[in-house]
């Protein structure tokens, strides 16, 4: 079980994040969310072997009521504090100060700060950098003032209108998944032996990657992975042989594969192939590989089968 708590001031976007990322709602369907007045809990199956337990705290949460929230925080691994970048910042800092004492009691919790509602990725990556650096500095000052020098803190710019939230949660899961180090080492070895330019291990239906190789990660990589997942799911939904009451993970088996030849507009090398290969249930390898290496099918299948066996051993799949 992986336990995550989200908190922030009212209307900061906590419920929208939960609905878009985990309930698969469209962003425009979250415009009229009701305020959260009590802890909202959601369990999400991941990989078929573990559950994510996500709890959204209301903005009325305070350290004075810590007994009421102890059942959520005693097992919590990650607390996500959401800052709405489109409203006044100072009141949000004050609210942030009110939750700081919980990190003294629950020192096993890591802190992730989402600078939320940065809807333009270009702004998030360029013009907003200086302002975001100032926000980070202010938060670090608050933490330093509370003498929490050992607190594990991470920052991410997010929006419900792009892939940033899914990438942020991917980073969180890699951070708290005990087997991540072994999975990352395994996918690195696979990349070397197969000649992959980039490789990810994806939880397909939740669109989180749980491991990634150590080669440089480009901004468009996640979007490309997301697109090939959508393609596989959409084509299966249209042409697949399934009944209405079938579980979605019954659509695929370990022989299921999807591949796309990339052009130079989406990748530097027009001879590259983007392909998805199912490893187990809703878990898939997604990789970019040169067309010449992709045609070495026997070598590719041999190494992927070894990788599959390693993943099953690490994650203790039956």
Tokens of 71: 């059942």
Q: Are 172 and 200 part of one and the same domain?
A: no
Do 158 and 193 sit in the same domain of this protein? no
What local confidence, expressed as pLDDT, does residue 124 receive? 47
List, in order, residues 6 or more apart from 10 with CB less than 8 Å away: 35, 36, 59
**Average pLDDT, integer, range 215-224:** 88
Boundary (domain end) residue, out of 176, 207, 226: 176
Domain end call among 135, 150, 176: 176
Q: pLDDT digits over 265-318, tens only?
A: 566 666 899 999 999 878 999 999 999 899 888 999 999 999 999 999 998 865
**Domain end marker among 127, 146, 176:** 176
Full residue range of the structural domain in which residue 169 is found: 2-176
Residues 129 and 113 in one domain: yes
Q: Count structural domains, the chain.
A: 2
The β-bridge relationship of strands 153-157 and 110-116 is parallel
- CATH number of the domain bearing residue 6: 3.40.50.300
> What CATH number does the domain containing 200 carry?
3.30.450.190
Q: Tens of pLDDT along 130-185?
A: 777 788 888 988 898 888 888 889 999 999 998 999 999 999 988 888 888 999 99
- DSSP code string of 122-133: HHHHTTTHHHHH
> Does residue 213 sit in the same domain as residue 240?
yes
């Amino acid at each position: 079980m992986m336990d995550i708590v989200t908190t922030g001031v009212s209307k900061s976007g906590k419920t929208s994040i939960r609905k878009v990322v985990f309930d698969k709602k469209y962003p425009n369907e979250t415009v009229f969310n009701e305020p959260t007045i009590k802890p909202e809990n959601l369990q999400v199956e991941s990989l078929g072997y573990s559950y994510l337990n996500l709890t959204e705290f209301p903005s009325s949460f305070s350290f004075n009521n810590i007994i009421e929230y102890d059942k959520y925080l005693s097992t919590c691994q990650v607390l996500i504090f959401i800052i709405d970048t489109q409203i006044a910042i100072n009141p949000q800092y004050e609210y942030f100060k009110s939750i700081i004492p919980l990190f003294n009691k629950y020192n096993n919790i890591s802190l992730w700060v989402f600078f939320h509602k940065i809807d333009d990725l270009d702004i998030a990556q360029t013009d907003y950098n200086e302002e975001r650096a100032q926000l980070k500095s202010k938060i670090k000052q608050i933490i330093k003032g509370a003498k929490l020098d050992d607190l594990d803190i991470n920052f991410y710019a997010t929006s419900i209108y792009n892939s940033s939230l899914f990438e942020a949660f991917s980073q969180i899961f890699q951070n708290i998944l005990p087997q991540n180090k072994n999975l990352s080492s395994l996918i690195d070895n696979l990349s070397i032996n197969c000649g992959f330019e980039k490789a990810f291990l994806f939880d397909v239906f939740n669109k989180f990657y749980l491991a990634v190789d150590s080669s440089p990660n480009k901004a468009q990589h996640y979007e490309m992975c997301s697109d090939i997942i959508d393609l596989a799911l959409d084509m299966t939904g249209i042409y697949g042989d399934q009944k209405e009451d079938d579980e979605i993970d019954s659509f695929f088996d370990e022989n299921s594969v999807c591949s796309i030849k990339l052009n130079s507009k989406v990748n530097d090398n027009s001879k590259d192939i983007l392909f998805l290969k199912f490893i187990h249930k809703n878990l898939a390898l997604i990789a970019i590989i040169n067309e010449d290496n992709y045609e070495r099918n026997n070598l590719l299948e041999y190494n992927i089968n070894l990788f599959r066996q390693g993943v099953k051993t690490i994650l203790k799949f039956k």
